[in-house]
Each structure stands twice: as C-alpha cells, then as structure tokens.
Chain A
C-alpha cells in the first residue's frame, strides 16, 4: 500500500448513492479525517464525485492510489474506515464487494466483472473528479482538445475529424454527427446556434444526468468545439428542471469556464467568441424531441414540427442549429484529443465508440455502465449486470426508453449497436435498458409504456394522440379479460399507421413496445384474449393463485408472507389459498421453495 504522495477518497454522490445518504458519508469522512489529524506521510483529500456506476451497491467509496473499493458504506462505517484503512493501511473486509464470478470478496474495482468489461469514454471523468472543480477537469487533460482545435485546426478540419470518427448521435436516432455539423457549417446565414439536449425523460434512464452532474466541463468543451466547427457564437443547454444538481453543477462549471477564458469573448486568444446559457425545461417528455425542444426554448408550447426542412437549415428561431445530446457532446473532446482513427477502432462497422446505458430492472447490478458498441446483450446483462436478481429466469430486455422495444431471450446474443437493435424492432434510444424476469407480463409491460406515452404525447397529431389512446384502451381491456379476437390485428394495424403517419419521433416509435411484444410474445397475448389467463400471474383479473397439494410440504412460508391472510392451513399439512381474500400479489409464489404455488386462469376449468 502506498505510503507516498497524496491520497484521495472519492465518495460517489451520483443520484443513487445520494439518495442513500452518501453526502452524509462524505461530510463524516471530512470531519473524522481532520479530527484524526492524519499528519502522517499521507495527505488525504476527500472528494464528492459523480456517479461511479454500481448504484445497486451504493453508497460507494474509492480510495486512491490504494485502489480500494468499498460498497454500501454507512455513516457508522466511517470511523472504521479512518481507523483501519487510512491510519493503519488495512482493508475493512465487510465493506468489500463480493464478486460472484470468483466467489469471494475483492479489493480493487478492476477485479470486478462489473468494471472490468466496461470502457469509459463519455464517462471518463465521472466518478474520478470533483465536478465543481475545473482544476480537476484540466488536470485530467480537459480543455486540451479545445486548445489544440482553436490554435491548430480550421473548422473544416474539425468536422472532417468528427466525420472520420464515425460518431453518431447518442440521443436516440443515431444521426451521423459530422454530417449534421457539415450541413450546418454550409449554411451562409447567421446567427447559428448549438444546443445540448439534456431533457432526459425516459423512465429509468439517468445517463445524461450523471454526465451533467459528474463531468459538466466535458459537455461545455464539446459544445465550444462544435460551435467553432459550424460558426456559432451562442449555445443553449436544455436541462429538465427536476435535475437540480445537474443544473447547479452545470451553472457553476459555466462560470468557471468563463473565468478561465474557455467561454466568452476571444476564447484562448483565438478571436473566436462563444457563450452558453442554461434553459430549464418543464419536464415534458416530448421536449426531448429536437424541434419541440427548440419551440420550448423559444417560449412556445413544446410541440414538434414537421422536419422535412431540417434544423441545421432552419432550427431555433428559424436559424441554422446543431442540436446534440449530452453524451454526444461529451464524446467530442475525446475524439479531438485522441484522434478519429483511435475512436473508430472501437465498436462495430456502423456504430463507432462506446455507449452509456442505465442498466435497471430485475438485474443484480443496477447502475450506470459504458461499453463498446457491439457488445452482446448477454455480456451486458449477465457479466456486467451479474444476471437476474433473485436467481429468476431472464425473459426480455427493453431498450431505448418507453418507445423502444422488448427483446426476447432468443436474441440474447444480439450485438448492441444502432442497426442490430433497429432490426430487432427496438432501438438504441438514449440508452435505457430495463431487464425483465419471468414474473413480468409482456402485455402489462406494453400497457405500462403506452400509459406513459399517452400522458406524454404532445397531442398535436391525430395518429399519435388518438392512436395511443385507442391502443391503450385495447390493452387495458385485454389485461382485464375483455380482449376480443380481432384485437391483435387492430393493434398491429394501428401500430403500422402510427409508425408512418405520426408527426415526430415520439409517435413514430410509440407502437414499438406493442409491436415487439406482439412479435416475440404473441402466445402471451393469445392466452390473455382466448383463455383469459395471464401466464406470468400479473394481470389480477386473469389470475387465480392456488397451492398444488401434491407439492406442498406444509412449511408455512407462504402463510407467513401473505399480506392479506389468505393462506389457510396448519404447518405440516398442505396449505390452501382463500380466493376471496387473495390480492394476487404473488408473494407466496416468490417465497415457495418447492414450486407448489401455481397460477391458473380466471376460468376455473382451465389448468
């Protein structure tokens, strides 16, 4: 263990850890360390950083350069960390991460499969630096790319470099970034604008949030480079208002960048002027759509417009505009720093670089991850994600946010890139990844997403507003056991129409959850409609729980766990469920170790 130089303690203050009181851990560490007067050889600095990724095991604390990684740290653990690790160079065994693949606890994050398989480009500084310190960012090579761009390269050369890198927009559609910039640079009318889309609205997604919170300067640096390339002098960062920490860190970073001369007039003595301001979004999902976002910045109702004339030609206030997602902007400085050739060596033929995902749902290691494009779903879910929580069976993974699709187990070896996901009927989206186990009803999942979309559609065009409404109506009835034989055809036909006739990307992708579940899980729909049963035991109207007497060992675990006292019987004897009291929560089924709790359809003759 190092006895020389400085020691840094990085306390994760990302969204997951913060909600588990990591800020208290940080404060306590600071207080204890100054109390303990660690004069010794090692000067210790405590930093509150952005998200470290392994949210499931938070709050996380990393000690560098000792390379020690503590998980689930509570305020009450702090004295022990100070006493043992900081003063006596010992590890605190109970706080170490248990790595399932080797079956023991490991000290370094590099020994975990969760971190080992990742590759961090957009997240390169997140979790490594104090986001409120521009010095930290500069120390890790920040603003170096900007300096080189402004002093050595012409705007055209910058665009060529981005084109060669093969970078595609990380916000969802995967539009080639270099091509977008080139088109905007060609426009000969001014002013031009650059926009950063930080209106992340997908349920379960927090990639952009973590970048803005944990490494705001990389976004600013990317935007200045982009603005220089297209000839813009004014930029906007649109952040949803719920992301208060992102807004705070970003505002602070902008001020620091202005003070240091990275923003404002005559940046780094180059004669190039550019400044950026934050616009706080009201939190409408549809405002993540580029033209709706621009309408919102202009102070209008956040509704999209037809995009036959692209924003690079007529965008914000009718002027040429380049809009990119947070993650796209964060990738720009890395590309300019390390070169297009290096960047394009990562990933697949048509999807270069890495992609950040928020891995959530029924997976062991929920968290924020970044992997090279082309990694298979299996590697992501089972190696990085550690497999399905509770040892259950994998059923499907939903990618691309609420309007993405559900990918079944048969496609688990699908490489994750823009084209493969599109071909499977889903999409990359902004990078939400929701894992589902065998206790998930796919009809119910489709219903869940359509409910979300029915509330979040802007309601401007008929196909999206009325189409989603009627598809949801059908799904609700199917889940309640009132599905009709030709409902599946109606769903498919409405879905096809929505995909083509809707005004914007939201409507065009809204049927994806329905169409993919129809494609991969048709049997489940048929069971709902024809047999009036929900195979996963989720749709309450269609589910009757019962105990198979021949399997029941009479252990009583189900009775103990039933919240509505519906399980009757004596220990040692087979138990039975009183249907009139059962609220169909499935707790009995989850706890039964003998598979004795079963589901049957509403129609009692069906087994």
Chain B
C-alpha cells in the first residue's frame, strides 16, 4: 500500500512501523531511544508525528505505530515541532551537558535551559535500552527501579551485581553515553563492580571480561572464536572463507 509522508509517496507493508518507512525513504525523524536491534522502546517520544485519516488528525509515536491503512503523515508540522521542542527542552533540563542532547537543542534552535533546576552531571534519559539489552543477553543484572520522578537504572540495591558479566552491552546501546564503563590496566569498572579483562589470543589486546567469555562458552559451547577480539574474529572468519573458495 501507499502512504504519504510530508508530501512524498512511500511504499509501505501492512503492519510496518512508520519510523522505518520514513527512514527507508530518506525522511529524517529524530530519535534517541530507537535501536534497530532493540526496537519498540517508545520512551523518548521524539519521533512523534501527525497522522491524518479523513477528518481525524492525531499525534502518534512513529517508532511503534503500525501502518494498517493508507494515511497521510506529517513529521514536521508546526504542532509537532512545538511539541518536540518542549520534549527536547525537558531532556536538556534533565541532562544539560550531554552532547547528544545539545546537538538536538541546536537542531531545534533552543537556548540552554534556565528556568528549571538542573543536575549538570546527569546524562541518562531513562530510555531503558540498557535494561532491554541486558535482558536480551539473558543476564538481567540491571533494571529500572522506583517510579515517577525517582526512577533510575540500577543493579539490585545499588550493590555490585552477582550476575553481571561486564559485557558492556548496556553501555554499547546507550544513546547518550550515560553509563560509566572504564577499562584500565586490564580491569573493567562497570556498575560498581570490577572485572578482569582477557587478552585476544592473536593480537594480545584486552577485549572483554573473563565472565563474559565464560558465559558465551557456556551458552554456545567451546569455540575458539571466544578467545579472539572482534577484529581478529572477523579476520579469521574472512580467511576461512577465502580458503574455502581457493580450492
């Protein structure tokens, strides 16, 4: 079926999400909590757009809005811009020094927030991607705790988690680089816990934690691949493939 986004005709599958359709057609909609690997967070609300069906005009969240009818979409109407500006304003009051939010603020021509009390050290916007990533890994070391304005992401009781393997997936998916992860002298510091880093058997660089390596072995069986860093693993895979075709 065909839908119209900002005046442009776009091909769409039944049930496809609006944000995906827009991106395929080169239409920019800002997002923070969207990750192609972990879609459907719908928490930052930056991707709101207006959908018009007949006389009905409504604001929807494009990352989770499935297209089921031929509709017209406005991603940048005056109303959407005004509301999006207010969302960015709220985000920049929460994490005023964050580079990603500063970039958004500039894109929308907003000044540094002055009306509200701000915490200069805050970077987390509580999108929940880190928690999702940890769940997908099968670890469940972190979660959002509390509710309302007291909400935060944490390990149980803010203590070093028994189950965290230090894989760093949480920090990897974080859209605002809010998670403190630090590798120093063969030790990784993450979520109030220290992890021994292991070296790649080929290049000798530190690349992940011992716990992570053990976890992968347990989950997928013994495989030499887990002793190599990502770069060397790719290289090894490439060499293997090349060998296959050489025959």
Map CB proximity to A onto B108-130 as digits: 1 under 8 Å, 0 otherwise. Answer: 00000001110000000110100
The answer to whether B147 touches A455, judged by C-beta atoms less than 8 angstroms apart, is yes
Assembled-state Cα–Cα distance A469/B125 (Å): 14
Assembled-state Cα–Cα distance A274/B150 (Å): 41
A542 to chain B, nearest CB (A): 20
Q: Across the interface, name the chain A residue whose C-beta is closest to B33.
A: A462
Dominant secondary structure at the B interface: mixed
The answer to whether B60 touches A457, judged by C-beta atoms less than 8 angstroms apart, is no
Assembled-state Cα–Cα distance A452/B44 (Å): 22
Chain A residues lying within 8 Å of B128, measured Cβ to Cβ, are 460
B244 to chain A, nearest CB (A): 42
The answer to whether A308 touches B65, judged by C-beta atoms less than 8 angstroms apart, is yes
Q: Across the interface, name the chain A residue whose C-beta is closest to B94.
A: A466
Interchain CB contact (< 8 A) of A493 among B86, B94, B151:
B86
Contact of A40 with B by CB under 8 A? no
The answer to whether A308 touches B60, judged by C-beta atoms less than 8 angstroms apart, is yes
Assembled-state Cα–Cα distance A474/B65 (Å): 33
Contact of A494 with B by CB under 8 A? yes
Interchain CB contact (< 8 A) of A308 among B64, B90, B94, B116:
B64
The answer to whether B83 touches A455, judged by C-beta atoms less than 8 angstroms apart, is no
Chain B residues lying within 8 Å of A301, measured Cβ to Cβ, are 143-144
Contact of A554 with B by CB under 8 A? no
Chain B residues lying within 8 Å of A457, measured Cβ to Cβ, are 147-149
Within 8 A of A (CB), among B28-61: 42-45, 48, 59-61
The answer to whether B87 touches A465, judged by C-beta atoms less than 8 angstroms apart, is no
The answer to whether A462 touches B149, judged by C-beta atoms less than 8 angstroms apart, is no
A199 to chain B, nearest CB (A): 14
The answer to whether B64 touches A497, judged by C-beta atoms less than 8 angstroms apart, is no
Chain A residues lying within 8 Å of B91, measured Cβ to Cβ, are 462, 466
The answer to whether A306 touches B61, judged by C-beta atoms less than 8 angstroms apart, is yes
Q: Across the interface, name the chain B residue whose C-beta is closest to A470.
A: B116
Map CB proximity to B onto A336-375 as digits: 1 under 8 Å, 0 otherwise. Answer: 0000000000000000000000000000000000000000
Map CB proximity to A onto B127-142 as digits: 1 under 8 Å, 0 otherwise. Answer: 0100000000000000
Contact of A284 with B by CB under 8 A? yes
B54 to chain A, nearest CB (A): 17
B46 to chain A, nearest CB (A): 8
Assembled-state Cα–Cα distance A500/B87 (Å): 12
Assembled-state Cα–Cα distance A286/B44 (Å): 19
Interchain CB contact (< 8 A) of A454 among B59, B94, B149:
B149
Chain A residues lying within 8 Å of B42, measured Cβ to Cβ, are 305-306, 461, 503
Within 8 A of B (CB), among A382-410: none
B78 to chain A, nearest CB (A): 13
The answer to whether B149 touches A497, judged by C-beta atoms less than 8 angstroms apart, is no
The answer to whether B83 touches A500, judged by C-beta atoms less than 8 angstroms apart, is yes
B43 to chain A, nearest CB (A): 5
A519 to chain B, nearest CB (A): 19
The answer to whether B90 touches A456, judged by C-beta atoms less than 8 angstroms apart, is no
Interchain CB contact (< 8 A) of A459 among B44, B93, B126, B143:
B126
Dominant secondary structure at the A interface: helix
Contact of A490 with B by CB under 8 A? yes
Map CB proximity to A onto B147-161 as digits: 1 under 8 Å, 0 otherwise. Answer: 111110000000000
B96 to chain A, nearest CB (A): 13
Chain B residues lying within 8 Å of A308, measured Cβ to Cβ, are 60, 64-66
Assembled-state Cα–Cα distance A202/B91 (Å): 29
Within 8 A of A (CB), among B149-177: 149-151
The answer to whether B83 touches A470, judged by C-beta atoms less than 8 angstroms apart, is no
Interchain CB contact (< 8 A) of A501 among B65, B83, B94, B147:
B83
The answer to whether B43 touches A503, judged by C-beta atoms less than 8 angstroms apart, is yes
B202 to chain A, nearest CB (A): 42
Chain B residues lying within 8 Å of A496, measured Cβ to Cβ, are 83
Contact of B180 with A by CB under 8 A? no
Q: Across the interface, name the chain B residue whose C-beta is closest to A495.
A: B86
Query: Which residue among B48, B83, B144 has the maximum number of chain A CB atoms within 10 Å of its CB?
Result: B83
Decide yes or no: A466 and B64 within 8 Å by CB, A456-B148, A458-B147, A484-B115 being known contacts: no
Assembled-state Cα–Cα distance A345/B45 (Å): 44
Map CB proximity to B onto A307-327 as digits: 1 under 8 Å, 0 otherwise. Answer: 011000000000000000000
The answer to whether A458 touches B148, judged by C-beta atoms less than 8 angstroms apart, is yes
The answer to whether B150 touches A455, judged by C-beta atoms less than 8 angstroms apart, is yes
Contact of B224 with A by CB under 8 A? no
Chain B residues lying within 8 Å of A472, measured Cβ to Cβ, are 149
Chain B residues lying within 8 Å of A453, measured Cβ to Cβ, are 148
Decide yes or no: A465 and B143 within 8 Å by CB, A306-B64, A470-B116, A500-B83 being known contacts: no
Contact of A468 with B by CB under 8 A? yes
Interchain CB contact (< 8 A) of B144 among A456, A459, A470:
A459
Decide yes or no: A465 and B115 within 8 Å by CB, A308-B64, A308-B66, A309-B66 being known contacts: no
Assembled-state Cα–Cα distance A497/B93 (Å): 16
The answer to whether B43 touches A461, judged by C-beta atoms less than 8 angstroms apart, is yes
Q: Across the interface, name the chain A residue whose C-beta is closest to B46.
A: A462
Interchain CB contact (< 8 A) of B149 among A286, A465, A490:
A465
The answer to whether B43 touches A462, judged by C-beta atoms less than 8 angstroms apart, is yes
Contact of A473 with B by CB under 8 A? yes
B30 to chain A, nearest CB (A): 13
Q: Across the interface, name the chain A residue whose C-beta is closest to B151.
A: A459
Interchain CB contact (< 8 A) of A468 among B44, B117, B149:
B149
Contact of B146 with A by CB under 8 A? yes
The answer to whether A473 touches B116, judged by C-beta atoms less than 8 angstroms apart, is yes
Chain A residues lying within 8 Å of B148, measured Cβ to Cβ, are 453-459, 465, 468
Assembled-state Cα–Cα distance A455/B149 (Å): 6
Chain A residues lying within 8 Å of B86, measured Cβ to Cβ, are 467, 493-494, 497
Map CB proximity to B onto A475-514 as digits: 1 under 8 Å, 0 otherwise. Answer: 0000000001000001001101100111100000000000
Q: Across the interface, name the chain B residue whose C-beta is closest to A307.
A: B64
Assembled-state Cα–Cα distance A493/B84 (Å): 11
Chain A residues lying within 8 Å of B60, measured Cβ to Cβ, are 308
Contact of A463 with B by CB under 8 A? yes
Q: Across the interface, name the chain B residue whose C-beta is closest to A309.
A: B66
Assembled-state Cα–Cα distance A461/B42 (Å): 7
Q: Across the interface, name the chain B residue whose C-beta is closest to A472.
A: B149
Q: Across the interface, name the chain B residue whose C-beta is closest to A490.
A: B115
Assembled-state Cα–Cα distance A501/B151 (Å): 19
Interchain CB contact (< 8 A) of B126 among A306, A465, A500, A503:
A465
Assembled-state Cα–Cα distance A497/B91 (Å): 14
Decide yes or no: A497 and B87 within 8 Å by CB, A301-B143, A459-B126 being known contacts: yes
The answer to whether B151 touches A463, judged by C-beta atoms less than 8 angstroms apart, is no
Decide yes or no: A461 and B45 within 8 Å by CB, A301-B144, A468-B149 being known contacts: yes
Decide yes or no: A470 and B43 within 8 Å by CB, A456-B147, A465-B151 being known contacts: no
Show 21 residue pairs from A and B whose CB-CB distance is below 8 angstroms, ordered by the A residue.
A301-B143, A301-B144, A305-B42, A306-B42, A308-B66, A455-B147, A456-B147, A459-B144, A459-B146, A461-B43, A461-B45, A462-B45, A462-B126, A465-B148, A466-B90, A466-B94, A469-B149, A473-B116, A496-B83, A501-B45, A501-B83
Binding site for B on A (CB under 8 A): 284, 286, 301, 305-306, 308-309, 453-463, 465-470, 472-474, 484, 490, 493-494, 496-497, 500-503
Q: Kindly list the 6 A-B residue pairs having the minimum CB-CB distance in the complex, ordered from nearest.
A: A459-B151, A466-B90, A500-B59, A306-B64, A497-B86, A457-B148
Given contact pairs A301-B143, A469-B149, a sample of 11 additional A-B residue pairs in the complex whose CB atoms are under 8 Å apart: A455-B147, A455-B148, A455-B149, A458-B151, A460-B43, A462-B45, A462-B126, A463-B87, A465-B126, A466-B93, A470-B90
